[in-house]
Amino acid sequence: MMPPDKPQDVARVLFGILTGAAVLYCLLSGVRTTADCLSEEKREGTLGLLFLTDLKGYYIVLGKLAATSFSGFYGVLAVVPMLAIPLLMGGVTPAEFGRMALVAVNTLFFSLSIGMCVSSLSRSARKASSITFLLILSFAALVPAMGALLAFFLKTSWFQPLFLLPSCGFSFYMGFDTPYRAARGAFWWSVGIVHGIGWLFLVSSAVIAPRSWQDRPAGARKLRWRELWKLWSYGNSEERLAFRRRLLDTNAFYWLAARARLKPAMVWAILGLLGCAWAWGLAKFGRDWLNLGLYFTVGIILNVLLKGWFASEVGRQLAEDRKGGSLELLLSTPLTVREMLRGQRLALQRQFLGPVMAVLFIAVILMIATARETAIDQEHIFFTDVWCAGMFMLIADLVGLYWVGMWQALVSKNPGRAASASVARILVFPWIAFSLIALLMALVAF
């Protein structure tokens, strides 16, 4: 006879994966849908025409929110029949199911509101998507991490829950039966605070939108900073001329995609900051800093950083040329499609080849350090295989992101959507499918 608790265990794991995927999808919906809805109207000059009518700011914001949230809401609604499988298997209560549905819808509203507010302030699609993602990440992860650091340094934990309440991840965790029974008030406070933050951003966007659509001349200080940044990014006239000649002799599209000389330096700067953080932790905690959990955390952070950054850059030039109408001019020149792809590949190699090699070298060092921490031969072989698989997947995912990113740049509305679609197809959906297949195989075995 099969033990009675096995189907319930599988049901709980399946329910956690399905609801986690739904909440993650809701959390990132603002980056994909609302982050560029108002800023696109600004760039095309149509937002001002709307304000020439009797429409108020909140009418336009709510209308845009409703129009862009349908796809996200229907995506969440499509997961509900799948959640009925673990519910029927047992191990998941109807109350737990209802709390998770509430968390998913609340997270969707929170993410869409942040994207709407950032879109009302910005004109650039890329900046709007980046700022929206950073704000969502700050509330979901950075604020709780800040609370943990303050609790560690101040040797007290009485105020740490205050930093957890604005996090959608905390709401998701507290929605399960076991933590909910232990602290019911924390769940409802977290849901209420997240919902209130969403309304705060939504009201702010309704106030900002009627006041930010006009083109205002830049001030002297802003122009000075803009010129300084241009000088740092592209160099002076002599440097730009020499750089242009060198790249044009190799490939014309290579020069178009790699004109900003600071792009490789920025990737190295971020890796350097992470290295400084590692050195600080080693000096602060000594031997306790070196453990298996931290090794794998560093490896995951470096992989996610490089893959996400690569996905944002791979099709950006083609997407911007297509949206601006200059792609037709490029195709009317003797420049072939093969040469354009080669130029984009050379630009990506210039920006990411060195950092990728450095990350692979760090992964080898961490693999050796992991082998020294394990004494059992089976664990040693297992962890070595995991590190080798991670390094192989880094290269494979970058190759997949290159081809899918170039395709999405030609069919997506803007560079932000091209990047998000590439990440979803290469990094997100395969892992979700793998998890579901593994759980369904376990379910069939039971």
| Whole-number Å distance between alpha carbons of 400 and 423 | 10
Q: Please say if the pLDDT value at position 288 is more than 70.
A: yes
Over residues 19-35, mean pLDDT: 84
Write down the pTM of the prediction. 0.74
- HEC profile of 384-434: HHHHHHHHHHHHHHHHHHHHHHHHHHHHCCCHHHHHHHHHHHHHHHHHHHH
Q: Please say if the pLDDT value at position 1 is more than 50.
A: no
Over residues 15-22, mean pLDDT: 82
User: Which ranges constitute the DSSP H helices of 138-261?
Assistant: 143-154, 160-164, 168-174, 177-182, 184-212, 220-234, 237-250, 252-257
User: Which ranges constitute the DSSP H helices of 235-336?
Assistant: 237-250, 252-257, 262-285, 292-314, 316-324, 326-331
**Which pLDDT belongs to residue 153?**
66
pLDDT digits (tens, 9 = 90+) for 47-67: 777 777 777 878 888 888 888
CB 26 within 8 A of CB 73: no
**Which has more confidence, 207 or 154?**
207
| Whole-number Å distance between alpha carbons of 152 and 162 | 15
Q: Give the distance from CA 357 to its chain's centroid.
A: 23
What the block records as the tokens of 209 is 């939108």
| Whole-number Å distance between alpha carbons of 15 and 83 | 6
- Coil, helix or strand for 213? coil
| Whole-number Å distance between alpha carbons of 267 and 306 | 9
pLDDT digits (tens, 9 = 90+) for 349-406: 989 999 999 999 999 999 988 888 776 667 778 888 889 999 999 999 999 999 998 8
pLDDT digits (tens, 9 = 90+) for 73-96: 787 777 777 777 777 777 788 888
pLDDT digits (tens, 9 = 90+) for 409-421: 888 877 777 888 8
- Coil, helix or strand for 58? helix
- Coil, helix or strand for 75? helix
**Which has more confidence, 11 or 61?**
61
What is the full DSSP assignment across 114-129?
HHHHHHHH-S-HHHHH
Work out the mean pLDDT of the chain and round it to a whole number: 82
Residue 140 has what DSSP assignment? Answer: I
Cβ burial of 100 (10 Å; 0-12, 13-18, 19+) is buried
